[in-house]
Chain A
Amino acid sequence: MTSAVAGELSAELRGFREVQTLAYECAEAVAAQLKPGVTEREAARMQREWLRERGVRDWFHLPFAWFGDRTAFVNFRIPLQFFPTNRRLEPGMPFILDMAPVHKGYTADIGYSGCLGLNPVHDKLLADLEAHRELLLREVRERRTLREIYEDVDRLMVRQGYANRHRAYPFGVIAHKVDRVKERRRSPHVFGFGTQSLKGLASDAIHGHRDGWSPLWSPYKFSDHPPRPGLWAVEPHLGFRGTGAKFEEILVVTDSKDPEQSAFWLDDDLPHVRRWAEERAAA
Protein backbone atom coordinates (compact mmCIF):
# COMPACT_ATOMS: atom_id res chain seq x y z
CA MET A 1 0.00 0.00 0.00
CA THR A 2 2.93 2.29 0.53
CA SER A 3 3.33 3.16 -3.10
CA ALA A 4 0.63 4.71 -5.21
CA VAL A 5 0.64 4.70 -8.95
CA ALA A 6 0.20 8.17 -10.30
CA GLY A 7 -3.22 8.76 -11.78
CA GLU A 8 -4.92 5.71 -10.41
CA LEU A 9 -5.20 4.33 -6.95
CA SER A 10 -4.24 0.86 -6.05
CA ALA A 11 -7.10 -1.52 -5.36
CA GLU A 12 -6.36 -1.28 -1.71
CA LEU A 13 -6.62 2.48 -1.54
CA ARG A 14 -9.86 2.24 -3.47
CA GLY A 15 -11.20 -0.01 -0.73
CA PHE A 16 -10.33 2.56 1.92
CA ARG A 17 -11.81 5.32 -0.17
CA GLU A 18 -15.08 3.46 -0.61
CA VAL A 19 -15.58 2.98 3.10
CA GLN A 20 -14.63 6.59 3.79
CA THR A 21 -17.21 7.73 1.23
CA LEU A 22 -19.76 5.42 2.81
CA ALA A 23 -19.06 6.88 6.24
CA TYR A 24 -19.43 10.45 5.01
CA GLU A 25 -22.66 9.49 3.28
CA CYS A 26 -23.86 8.14 6.59
CA ALA A 27 -22.87 11.37 8.35
CA GLU A 28 -24.75 13.47 5.83
CA ALA A 29 -27.79 11.23 5.96
CA VAL A 30 -27.92 11.31 9.75
CA ALA A 31 -27.20 15.04 9.90
CA ALA A 32 -30.14 15.63 7.57
CA GLN A 33 -32.40 13.79 10.01
CA LEU A 34 -31.28 15.67 13.11
CA LYS A 35 -33.93 17.97 14.50
CA PRO A 36 -34.51 19.74 17.80
CA GLY A 37 -34.94 17.29 20.65
CA VAL A 38 -32.84 14.47 19.23
CA THR A 39 -30.35 13.20 21.80
CA GLU A 40 -26.71 12.30 21.27
CA ARG A 41 -27.50 8.65 21.97
CA GLU A 42 -30.20 8.67 19.31
CA ALA A 43 -27.85 10.29 16.81
CA ALA A 44 -25.18 7.69 17.57
CA ARG A 45 -27.70 4.88 17.16
CA MET A 46 -28.88 6.33 13.85
CA GLN A 47 -25.31 6.21 12.54
CA ARG A 48 -24.82 2.68 13.77
CA GLU A 49 -28.03 1.43 12.21
CA TRP A 50 -27.44 3.21 8.92
CA LEU A 51 -24.02 1.60 8.56
CA ARG A 52 -25.19 -1.83 9.77
CA GLU A 53 -27.85 -1.84 7.06
CA ARG A 54 -25.07 -1.30 4.55
CA GLY A 55 -22.95 -4.19 5.70
CA VAL A 56 -20.70 -2.74 8.38
CA ARG A 57 -20.03 -5.38 11.03
CA ASP A 58 -16.88 -4.17 12.77
CA TRP A 59 -15.68 -0.83 14.03
CA PHE A 60 -12.45 0.94 14.73
CA HIS A 61 -14.63 2.78 17.20
CA LEU A 62 -18.37 3.01 17.62
CA PRO A 63 -20.05 6.18 16.37
CA PHE A 64 -19.89 9.22 18.62
CA ALA A 65 -22.14 12.27 18.61
CA TRP A 66 -21.49 15.51 20.44
CA PHE A 67 -23.95 18.39 20.70
CA GLY A 68 -23.65 21.98 21.89
CA ASP A 69 -20.66 22.82 24.05
CA ARG A 70 -19.75 19.13 24.10
CA THR A 71 -18.42 19.72 20.56
CA ALA A 72 -15.63 21.71 22.24
CA PHE A 73 -15.23 19.11 25.02
CA VAL A 74 -16.00 21.72 27.69
CA ASN A 75 -15.13 20.32 31.14
CA PHE A 76 -14.11 16.92 29.80
CA ARG A 77 -11.95 15.24 32.41
CA ILE A 78 -12.27 11.51 31.82
CA PRO A 79 -12.51 9.60 28.52
CA LEU A 80 -15.95 8.24 29.44
CA GLN A 81 -17.31 11.71 28.76
CA PHE A 82 -16.75 11.17 25.05
CA PHE A 83 -19.59 8.68 24.93
CA PRO A 84 -22.96 9.96 23.73
CA THR A 85 -25.26 11.34 26.42
CA ASN A 86 -28.88 12.37 26.64
CA ARG A 87 -28.05 15.95 25.69
CA ARG A 88 -30.75 17.19 23.33
CA LEU A 89 -30.16 19.15 20.16
CA GLU A 90 -31.51 22.72 20.10
CA PRO A 91 -31.80 25.22 17.27
CA GLY A 92 -28.49 26.91 16.53
CA MET A 93 -26.50 24.18 18.28
CA PRO A 94 -23.35 22.81 16.69
CA PHE A 95 -22.91 19.06 16.48
CA ILE A 96 -20.18 16.61 15.52
CA LEU A 97 -20.68 13.09 14.27
CA ASP A 98 -17.62 10.89 14.50
CA MET A 99 -17.55 7.28 13.33
CA ALA A 100 -15.02 4.66 12.30
CA PRO A 101 -16.65 1.75 10.49
CA VAL A 102 -14.78 -1.25 9.12
CA HIS A 103 -16.21 -2.51 5.85
CA LYS A 104 -14.86 -5.50 3.96
CA GLY A 105 -11.74 -5.25 6.07
CA TYR A 106 -11.09 -1.60 5.26
CA THR A 107 -11.23 1.01 8.00
CA ALA A 108 -12.46 4.56 7.79
CA ASP A 109 -12.44 7.15 10.55
CA ILE A 110 -14.32 10.34 9.83
CA GLY A 111 -15.59 13.42 11.64
CA TYR A 112 -18.44 15.56 10.42
CA SER A 113 -19.25 18.99 11.90
CA GLY A 114 -22.51 20.74 11.37
CA CYS A 115 -25.04 22.88 13.13
CA LEU A 116 -28.78 23.01 13.38
CA GLY A 117 -29.75 26.26 11.69
CA LEU A 118 -27.67 29.40 11.80
CA ASN A 119 -24.50 29.63 13.86
CA PRO A 120 -21.96 32.15 12.55
CA VAL A 121 -19.28 31.07 15.02
CA HIS A 122 -19.53 27.50 13.82
CA ASP A 123 -19.34 28.61 10.18
CA LYS A 124 -16.20 30.56 10.94
CA LEU A 125 -14.55 27.60 12.68
CA LEU A 126 -15.37 25.32 9.79
CA ALA A 127 -14.00 27.81 7.27
CA ASP A 128 -10.81 28.21 9.30
CA LEU A 129 -10.19 24.46 9.28
CA GLU A 130 -9.20 24.72 5.63
CA ALA A 131 -5.87 26.32 6.52
CA HIS A 132 -5.14 23.36 8.80
CA ARG A 133 -5.82 20.83 6.05
CA GLU A 134 -3.37 22.67 3.79
CA LEU A 135 -0.76 23.09 6.52
CA LEU A 136 -0.85 19.42 7.47
CA LEU A 137 -0.39 18.18 3.92
CA ARG A 138 2.36 20.68 3.15
CA GLU A 139 4.40 19.83 6.20
CA VAL A 140 3.97 16.10 5.82
CA ARG A 141 5.29 16.43 2.28
CA GLU A 142 8.23 18.39 3.69
CA ARG A 143 8.84 15.39 5.96
CA ARG A 144 8.89 17.49 9.13
CA THR A 145 8.60 15.45 12.28
CA LEU A 146 5.09 14.73 13.46
CA ARG A 147 5.73 16.53 16.71
CA GLU A 148 6.81 19.69 14.88
CA ILE A 149 3.78 19.55 12.63
CA TYR A 150 1.61 19.15 15.70
CA GLU A 151 3.19 22.25 17.21
CA ASP A 152 2.71 24.22 14.00
CA VAL A 153 -0.97 23.29 13.91
CA ASP A 154 -1.13 24.40 17.53
CA ARG A 155 0.44 27.74 16.70
CA LEU A 156 -1.92 28.31 13.80
CA MET A 157 -4.86 27.64 16.12
CA VAL A 158 -3.55 30.10 18.67
CA ARG A 159 -3.10 32.70 15.94
CA GLN A 160 -6.66 32.11 14.83
CA GLY A 161 -7.79 32.58 18.42
CA TYR A 162 -8.90 29.00 18.96
CA ALA A 163 -8.15 26.34 21.51
CA ASN A 164 -6.68 23.01 20.49
CA ARG A 165 -9.34 20.46 21.34
CA HIS A 166 -7.75 17.34 19.86
CA ARG A 167 -5.56 17.63 22.90
CA ALA A 168 -8.51 16.16 24.82
CA TYR A 169 -8.38 12.90 22.84
CA PRO A 170 -6.58 9.93 24.36
CA PHE A 171 -2.82 10.72 24.25
CA GLY A 172 -3.71 14.17 22.85
CA VAL A 173 -3.49 12.80 19.32
CA ILE A 174 -4.21 14.83 16.21
CA ALA A 175 -4.06 11.63 14.15
CA HIS A 176 -3.57 7.91 14.37
CA LYS A 177 -2.79 5.15 11.95
CA VAL A 178 -5.51 3.01 10.47
CA ASP A 179 -5.04 -0.24 8.69
CA ARG A 180 -6.79 -3.25 7.22
CA VAL A 181 -8.60 -5.43 9.66
CA LYS A 182 -9.21 -9.15 9.41
CA GLU A 183 -12.86 -10.03 9.01
CA ARG A 184 -13.99 -12.31 11.78
CA ARG A 185 -17.32 -13.87 12.57
CA ARG A 186 -17.47 -12.02 15.87
CA SER A 187 -16.36 -8.46 16.30
CA PRO A 188 -16.35 -7.52 19.99
CA HIS A 189 -15.45 -4.07 21.19
CA VAL A 190 -14.19 -2.69 24.48
CA PHE A 191 -14.94 0.84 25.58
CA GLY A 192 -16.26 1.59 22.13
CA PHE A 193 -13.16 0.42 20.29
CA GLY A 194 -13.12 -2.66 18.05
CA THR A 195 -10.75 -5.32 19.41
CA GLN A 196 -9.40 -6.16 15.95
CA SER A 197 -8.44 -2.55 15.31
CA LEU A 198 -7.00 -2.15 18.79
CA LYS A 199 -4.92 -5.24 18.15
CA GLY A 200 -3.56 -3.68 14.95
CA LEU A 201 -2.79 -0.45 16.74
CA ALA A 202 -1.08 -2.27 19.58
CA SER A 203 1.08 -4.31 17.25
CA ASP A 204 2.04 -1.13 15.39
CA ALA A 205 2.89 0.48 18.70
CA ILE A 206 5.14 -2.43 19.66
CA HIS A 207 6.90 -2.55 16.31
CA GLY A 208 7.14 1.21 16.22
CA HIS A 209 8.57 1.34 19.68
CA ARG A 210 11.45 -0.82 18.51
CA ASP A 211 12.05 1.28 15.39
CA GLY A 212 11.46 4.68 16.93
CA TRP A 213 8.04 5.60 15.66
CA SER A 214 4.48 5.51 16.91
CA PRO A 215 1.07 4.95 15.31
CA LEU A 216 -0.19 7.84 17.45
CA TRP A 217 0.51 11.38 16.23
CA SER A 218 0.87 13.27 19.49
CA PRO A 219 2.67 16.31 20.93
CA TYR A 220 4.98 13.99 22.88
CA LYS A 221 8.47 12.71 22.37
CA PHE A 222 7.36 9.40 20.87
CA SER A 223 6.06 11.40 17.88
CA ASP A 224 9.42 13.04 17.27
CA HIS A 225 9.91 11.25 13.93
CA PRO A 226 9.12 11.97 10.27
CA PRO A 227 5.75 10.76 8.94
CA ARG A 228 5.65 7.01 8.63
CA PRO A 229 4.25 5.60 5.36
CA GLY A 230 0.74 4.33 5.79
CA LEU A 231 -2.74 5.62 6.29
CA TRP A 232 -3.30 8.27 8.92
CA ALA A 233 -6.72 9.38 10.11
CA VAL A 234 -6.10 13.07 10.77
CA GLU A 235 -8.49 14.99 12.98
CA PRO A 236 -7.65 18.60 13.82
CA HIS A 237 -10.28 19.83 16.27
CA LEU A 238 -10.87 23.52 16.96
CA GLY A 239 -12.67 24.90 19.98
CA PHE A 240 -13.89 28.39 20.60
CA ARG A 241 -15.92 29.37 23.64
CA GLY A 242 -18.24 26.40 23.73
CA THR A 243 -18.31 25.71 20.00
CA GLY A 244 -16.16 23.03 18.43
CA ALA A 245 -15.54 21.87 14.87
CA LYS A 246 -13.36 19.23 13.31
CA PHE A 247 -12.91 17.17 10.22
CA GLU A 248 -11.38 13.76 10.10
CA GLU A 249 -10.20 11.97 7.02
CA ILE A 250 -7.44 9.74 5.81
CA LEU A 251 -4.07 11.08 4.75
CA VAL A 252 -2.02 8.66 2.67
CA VAL A 253 1.72 8.78 3.28
CA THR A 254 3.97 6.84 0.90
CA ASP A 255 7.70 6.37 0.54
CA SER A 256 7.70 7.97 -2.91
CA LYS A 257 10.43 10.51 -3.68
CA ASP A 258 8.00 12.67 -5.64
CA PRO A 259 6.59 15.18 -3.10
CA GLU A 260 3.13 15.07 -4.74
CA GLN A 261 3.05 11.32 -4.37
CA SER A 262 4.73 11.18 -0.98
CA ALA A 263 1.57 12.32 0.76
CA PHE A 264 -1.97 13.06 -0.37
CA TRP A 265 -5.48 13.09 0.97
CA LEU A 266 -7.23 9.85 0.16
CA ASP A 267 -10.22 11.70 -1.23
CA ASP A 268 -10.80 15.35 -2.06
CA ASP A 269 -14.50 14.93 -2.72
CA LEU A 270 -15.71 15.32 0.88
CA PRO A 271 -18.42 17.52 2.39
CA HIS A 272 -16.07 19.98 4.09
CA VAL A 273 -13.81 20.30 1.02
CA ARG A 274 -16.82 20.85 -1.23
CA ARG A 275 -18.11 23.44 1.21
CA TRP A 276 -14.85 25.43 1.06
CA ALA A 277 -14.90 25.30 -2.74
CA GLU A 278 -18.49 26.56 -2.78
CA GLU A 279 -17.62 29.38 -0.39
CA ARG A 280 -14.72 30.41 -2.60
CA ALA A 281 -16.94 30.31 -5.68
CA ALA A 282 -19.55 32.47 -3.90
CA ALA A 283 -16.96 35.00 -2.77
Chain B
Amino acid sequence: MEYFFQQLINGLTLGSIYGLIAIGYTMVYGIIGMINFAHGDIFMIGAFISLAMFLVLTTVLGFAFLPVVLLLVLIVAMLFTSAWGWAVERVAYRPLRGSFRLAPLITAIGMSIVLQNFVQITQGARVKPLPPQIPGGITLFQGSTEAGTIVVQLSYMQIIIIVTTVVLMAAFTLIINRTSLGRAQRACEQDRKMAALLGVDVDRTISLTFVMGAALAAVAGFMFLLLYGVIDFYIGFLAGVKAFTAAVLGGIGSLPGAMLGGLLIGLIEVFWSGYFSVEYKDVAAFSILAIVLIFLPSGLLGRPEVEKV
Protein backbone atom coordinates (compact mmCIF):
# COMPACT_ATOMS: atom_id res chain seq x y z
CA MET B 1 0.00 0.00 0.00
CA GLU B 2 2.78 2.41 0.91
CA TYR B 3 4.58 1.45 -2.23
CA PHE B 4 1.44 2.18 -4.19
CA PHE B 5 1.16 5.70 -2.76
CA GLN B 6 4.76 6.46 -3.46
CA GLN B 7 4.30 5.31 -7.05
CA LEU B 8 1.15 7.37 -7.32
CA ILE B 9 3.00 10.50 -6.28
CA ASN B 10 5.88 9.74 -8.64
CA GLY B 11 3.45 9.05 -11.45
CA LEU B 12 1.60 12.31 -10.96
CA THR B 13 4.89 14.23 -10.99
CA LEU B 14 6.07 12.63 -14.20
CA GLY B 15 2.58 13.00 -15.63
CA SER B 16 2.62 16.74 -14.94
CA ILE B 17 5.72 17.08 -17.08
CA TYR B 18 4.20 15.06 -19.92
CA GLY B 19 1.01 17.07 -19.59
CA LEU B 20 2.82 20.38 -19.97
CA ILE B 21 4.53 19.18 -23.14
CA ALA B 22 1.30 17.66 -24.40
CA ILE B 23 -0.46 21.03 -24.21
CA GLY B 24 1.96 22.34 -26.82
CA TYR B 25 1.12 19.47 -29.15
CA THR B 26 -2.57 19.76 -28.62
CA MET B 27 -2.69 23.53 -29.16
CA VAL B 28 -0.70 23.35 -32.36
CA TYR B 29 -2.68 20.39 -33.62
CA GLY B 30 -5.89 22.17 -32.76
CA ILE B 31 -5.01 25.32 -34.64
CA ILE B 32 -3.18 24.09 -37.73
CA GLY B 33 -3.85 20.38 -37.66
CA MET B 34 -0.25 19.24 -37.81
CA ILE B 35 1.91 17.12 -35.53
CA ASN B 36 4.65 19.50 -34.46
CA PHE B 37 7.24 16.82 -34.37
CA ALA B 38 9.93 19.19 -33.17
CA HIS B 39 8.03 20.05 -30.01
CA GLY B 40 9.77 17.35 -27.99
CA ASP B 41 13.05 18.92 -28.97
CA ILE B 42 11.81 22.32 -27.92
CA PHE B 43 11.34 20.73 -24.50
CA MET B 44 14.95 19.53 -24.69
CA ILE B 45 16.08 23.04 -25.66
CA GLY B 46 14.22 24.35 -22.63
CA ALA B 47 16.04 21.92 -20.37
CA PHE B 48 19.42 22.93 -21.79
CA ILE B 49 18.71 26.65 -21.45
CA SER B 50 17.61 26.06 -17.87
CA LEU B 51 20.83 24.22 -17.14
CA ALA B 52 23.05 26.87 -18.70
CA MET B 53 21.18 29.72 -17.00
CA PHE B 54 21.34 27.93 -13.68
CA LEU B 55 25.09 27.51 -14.01
CA VAL B 56 25.57 31.10 -15.10
CA LEU B 57 23.67 32.35 -12.08
CA THR B 58 25.28 30.07 -9.53
CA THR B 59 28.87 29.55 -10.67
CA VAL B 60 29.58 32.67 -12.73
CA LEU B 61 27.50 35.34 -11.03
CA GLY B 62 27.57 33.68 -7.63
CA PHE B 63 23.87 33.95 -6.74
CA ALA B 64 23.11 31.80 -3.75
CA PHE B 65 19.50 32.37 -2.76
CA LEU B 66 17.87 29.38 -4.42
CA PRO B 67 14.24 30.53 -4.85
CA VAL B 68 15.31 33.65 -6.74
CA VAL B 69 17.75 31.66 -8.83
CA LEU B 70 15.09 29.13 -9.76
CA LEU B 71 12.55 31.82 -10.59
CA LEU B 72 15.05 33.66 -12.78
CA VAL B 73 16.04 30.44 -14.49
CA LEU B 74 12.42 29.63 -15.17
CA ILE B 75 11.65 33.05 -16.62
CA VAL B 76 14.74 33.15 -18.82
CA ALA B 77 14.16 29.59 -20.00
CA MET B 78 10.57 30.40 -20.93
CA LEU B 79 11.60 33.52 -22.84
CA PHE B 80 14.45 31.99 -24.79
CA THR B 81 12.65 28.73 -25.51
CA SER B 82 9.71 30.74 -26.79
CA ALA B 83 12.07 32.41 -29.23
CA TRP B 84 13.08 28.96 -30.45
CA GLY B 85 9.45 27.92 -30.80
CA TRP B 86 8.71 31.06 -32.76
CA ALA B 87 11.73 30.61 -35.03
CA VAL B 88 10.89 26.98 -35.80
CA GLU B 89 7.39 27.95 -36.82
CA ARG B 90 8.63 30.86 -38.89
CA VAL B 91 11.29 28.89 -40.77
CA ALA B 92 9.77 25.48 -41.20
CA TYR B 93 6.00 25.74 -40.99
CA ARG B 94 4.83 29.16 -42.08
CA PRO B 95 6.09 28.87 -45.67
CA LEU B 96 4.05 25.68 -45.95
CA ARG B 97 0.83 27.10 -44.57
CA GLY B 98 -2.01 25.86 -46.73
CA SER B 99 0.20 23.28 -48.35
CA PHE B 100 -0.30 19.54 -48.34
CA ARG B 101 -0.59 17.68 -45.11
CA LEU B 102 2.64 15.73 -45.40
CA ALA B 103 4.89 18.68 -46.22
CA PRO B 104 4.84 20.31 -42.76
CA LEU B 105 5.17 16.90 -41.16
CA ILE B 106 8.40 16.33 -43.07
CA THR B 107 9.76 19.76 -42.20
CA ALA B 108 8.80 19.06 -38.58
CA ILE B 109 10.79 15.83 -38.59
CA GLY B 110 13.62 17.71 -40.31
CA MET B 111 13.50 20.41 -37.66
CA SER B 112 13.60 17.77 -34.95
CA ILE B 113 16.75 16.30 -36.50
CA VAL B 114 18.25 19.78 -36.84
CA LEU B 115 17.59 20.75 -33.23
CA GLN B 116 18.94 17.50 -31.84
CA ASN B 117 22.10 17.70 -33.86
CA PHE B 118 22.56 21.40 -33.26
CA VAL B 119 22.53 20.79 -29.52
CA GLN B 120 24.72 17.74 -29.87
CA ILE B 121 27.33 19.71 -31.81
CA THR B 122 27.28 22.81 -29.65
CA GLN B 123 26.90 21.18 -26.25
CA GLY B 124 28.39 17.76 -26.78
CA ALA B 125 26.82 14.35 -26.86
CA ARG B 126 27.54 13.35 -23.25
CA VAL B 127 24.90 13.53 -20.54
CA LYS B 128 24.89 16.55 -18.25
CA PRO B 129 24.30 15.66 -14.62
CA LEU B 130 23.06 18.26 -12.17
CA PRO B 131 23.02 17.33 -8.49
CA PRO B 132 19.66 17.60 -6.74
CA GLN B 133 19.02 21.22 -5.83
CA ILE B 134 15.98 20.93 -3.61
CA PRO B 135 16.52 18.14 -1.13
CA GLY B 136 14.07 16.97 1.49
CA GLY B 137 10.35 16.61 1.58
CA ILE B 138 7.37 15.80 3.68
CA THR B 139 7.13 12.28 5.02
CA LEU B 140 3.52 11.36 4.58
CA PHE B 141 3.62 8.12 6.51
CA GLN B 142 5.89 5.27 7.36
CA GLY B 143 5.05 1.64 7.23
CA SER B 144 6.97 -1.49 7.94
CA THR B 145 6.92 -4.62 5.88
CA GLU B 146 8.94 -7.79 6.01
CA ALA B 147 11.51 -6.17 3.80
CA GLY B 148 11.97 -3.27 6.18
CA THR B 149 10.44 0.13 6.62
CA ILE B 150 9.00 1.99 3.70
CA VAL B 151 8.69 5.73 3.75
CA VAL B 152 6.15 7.48 1.58
CA GLN B 153 7.65 10.83 0.84
CA LEU B 154 6.37 13.82 -1.03
CA SER B 155 9.52 15.70 -1.86
CA TYR B 156 9.55 19.49 -2.08
CA MET B 157 10.57 19.10 -5.68
CA GLN B 158 7.44 17.14 -6.43
CA ILE B 159 5.32 19.71 -4.63
CA ILE B 160 6.86 22.47 -6.72
CA ILE B 161 6.23 20.56 -9.93
CA ILE B 162 2.62 19.75 -9.17
CA VAL B 163 1.81 23.23 -7.89
CA THR B 164 3.49 24.92 -10.85
CA THR B 165 1.59 22.70 -13.23
CA VAL B 166 -1.74 23.43 -11.60
CA VAL B 167 -1.07 27.18 -11.61
CA LEU B 168 0.01 27.17 -15.26
CA MET B 169 -2.98 25.09 -16.27
CA ALA B 170 -5.31 27.53 -14.58
CA ALA B 171 -3.58 30.47 -16.23
CA PHE B 172 -3.78 28.85 -19.63
CA THR B 173 -7.42 27.96 -19.29
CA LEU B 174 -8.04 31.60 -18.47
CA ILE B 175 -6.05 32.78 -21.48
CA ILE B 176 -7.91 30.50 -23.85
CA ASN B 177 -11.33 31.20 -22.44
CA ARG B 178 -11.17 34.87 -21.51
CA THR B 179 -8.69 36.82 -23.62
CA SER B 180 -8.96 38.03 -27.18
CA LEU B 181 -5.92 35.93 -28.04
CA GLY B 182 -7.75 32.84 -26.85
CA ARG B 183 -10.78 33.86 -28.84
CA ALA B 184 -8.66 34.37 -31.94
CA GLN B 185 -7.12 30.97 -31.38
CA ARG B 186 -10.43 29.24 -31.10
CA ALA B 187 -11.65 31.08 -34.17
CA CYS B 188 -8.62 29.91 -36.16
CA GLU B 189 -9.24 26.39 -34.95
CA GLN B 190 -12.75 26.47 -36.36
CA ASP B 191 -12.08 28.13 -39.67
CA ARG B 192 -8.83 29.86 -40.49
CA LYS B 193 -10.07 31.53 -43.67
CA MET B 194 -13.13 32.97 -42.04
CA ALA B 195 -11.12 34.16 -39.04
CA ALA B 196 -8.75 35.96 -41.42
CA LEU B 197 -11.69 37.58 -43.20
CA LEU B 198 -13.02 38.82 -39.89
CA GLY B 199 -9.76 40.56 -39.15
CA VAL B 200 -7.98 38.01 -36.99
CA ASP B 201 -4.25 38.10 -37.69
CA VAL B 202 -3.93 34.41 -38.37
CA ASP B 203 -0.14 34.33 -38.70
CA ARG B 204 0.30 36.17 -35.43
CA THR B 205 -2.17 33.92 -33.65
CA ILE B 206 -0.43 30.81 -34.87
CA SER B 207 2.97 32.23 -33.90
CA LEU B 208 1.68 32.99 -30.43
CA THR B 209 0.35 29.47 -30.15
CA PHE B 210 3.81 28.15 -30.86
CA VAL B 211 5.29 30.62 -28.40
CA MET B 212 2.92 29.55 -25.64
CA GLY B 213 3.51 25.90 -26.35
CA ALA B 214 7.27 26.45 -26.25
CA ALA B 215 7.03 28.38 -22.99
CA LEU B 216 5.18 25.48 -21.37
CA ALA B 217 7.69 23.03 -22.81
CA ALA B 218 10.43 25.15 -21.25
CA VAL B 219 8.75 24.81 -17.88
CA ALA B 220 8.57 21.07 -18.42
CA GLY B 221 12.24 20.99 -19.39
CA PHE B 222 13.20 23.00 -16.34
CA MET B 223 11.27 20.65 -14.07
CA PHE B 224 12.64 17.59 -15.81
CA LEU B 225 16.15 18.90 -15.19
CA LEU B 226 15.49 19.48 -11.51
CA LEU B 227 13.64 16.22 -11.01
CA TYR B 228 15.96 13.84 -12.80
CA GLY B 229 19.14 15.84 -12.79
CA VAL B 230 20.36 14.32 -16.05
CA ILE B 231 19.77 15.64 -19.53
CA ASP B 232 21.20 15.00 -22.96
CA PHE B 233 20.37 16.08 -26.50
CA TYR B 234 18.17 13.02 -27.06
CA ILE B 235 15.66 13.41 -24.21
CA GLY B 236 13.28 15.30 -26.48
CA PHE B 237 12.42 12.40 -28.74
CA LEU B 238 10.97 9.96 -26.26
CA ALA B 239 9.42 12.65 -24.08
CA GLY B 240 7.93 14.18 -27.21
CA VAL B 241 6.47 10.94 -28.47
CA LYS B 242 4.99 10.19 -25.06
CA ALA B 243 3.60 13.67 -24.69
CA PHE B 244 1.99 13.38 -28.09
CA THR B 245 0.62 10.04 -26.99
CA ALA B 246 -0.78 11.84 -23.97
CA ALA B 247 -2.37 14.51 -26.14
CA VAL B 248 -4.00 11.89 -28.34
CA LEU B 249 -5.06 9.85 -25.36
CA GLY B 250 -6.77 12.83 -23.78
CA GLY B 251 -8.37 13.83 -27.04
CA ILE B 252 -6.32 16.03 -29.31
CA GLY B 253 -7.33 19.67 -29.35
CA SER B 254 -8.54 19.59 -25.76
CA LEU B 255 -6.41 21.31 -23.10
CA PRO B 256 -7.80 19.45 -20.09
CA GLY B 257 -7.53 16.32 -22.20
CA ALA B 258 -3.81 16.90 -22.72
CA MET B 259 -3.27 17.30 -19.00
CA LEU B 260 -5.36 14.24 -18.19
CA GLY B 261 -3.57 12.22 -20.86
CA GLY B 262 -0.22 13.36 -19.50
CA LEU B 263 -1.11 12.28 -15.99
CA LEU B 264 -2.38 8.93 -17.24
CA ILE B 265 0.74 8.25 -19.29
CA GLY B 266 2.89 9.22 -16.32
CA LEU B 267 0.95 6.93 -14.01
CA ILE B 268 0.95 4.03 -16.46
CA GLU B 269 4.67 4.36 -16.96
CA VAL B 270 5.51 4.58 -13.26
CA PHE B 271 3.18 1.79 -12.18
CA TRP B 272 4.32 -0.47 -14.97
CA SER B 273 7.94 0.11 -13.95
CA GLY B 274 7.07 -0.39 -10.31
CA TYR B 275 5.06 -3.55 -10.62
CA PHE B 276 6.13 -5.25 -13.84
CA SER B 277 9.29 -4.33 -15.63
CA VAL B 278 11.21 -1.16 -16.21
CA GLU B 279 12.35 -2.27 -19.65
CA TYR B 280 8.88 -2.49 -21.09
CA LYS B 281 7.45 0.74 -19.64
CA ASP B 282 7.46 2.41 -23.06
CA VAL B 283 5.76 -0.58 -24.57
CA ALA B 284 3.03 -0.24 -21.94
CA ALA B 285 2.47 3.43 -22.69
CA PHE B 286 2.36 2.88 -26.45
CA SER B 287 0.12 -0.16 -26.17
CA ILE B 288 -2.36 1.82 -24.09
CA LEU B 289 -2.31 4.46 -26.80
CA ALA B 290 -3.06 1.93 -29.51
CA ILE B 291 -5.83 0.34 -27.48
CA VAL B 292 -7.47 3.66 -26.63
CA LEU B 293 -7.33 4.85 -30.21
CA ILE B 294 -8.84 1.67 -31.52
CA PHE B 295 -11.76 1.69 -29.14
CA LEU B 296 -12.14 5.41 -28.58
CA PRO B 297 -10.73 7.12 -31.64
CA SER B 298 -11.33 10.67 -30.43
CA GLY B 299 -9.53 10.17 -27.13
CA LEU B 300 -10.92 10.51 -23.64
CA LEU B 301 -12.10 14.12 -23.70
CA GLY B 302 -12.06 14.85 -27.42
CA ARG B 303 -15.16 15.63 -29.37
CA PRO B 304 -16.36 12.55 -31.23
CA GLU B 305 -16.15 13.06 -34.93
CA VAL B 306 -19.19 12.33 -37.00
CA GLU B 307 -18.10 11.33 -40.45
CA LYS B 308 -19.35 13.88 -42.92
CA VAL B 309 -20.65 12.20 -46.01
The yes or no verdict on A and B being binding partners is no
Residues of B participating in the A interface, judged by any CB pair closer than 8 Å? none
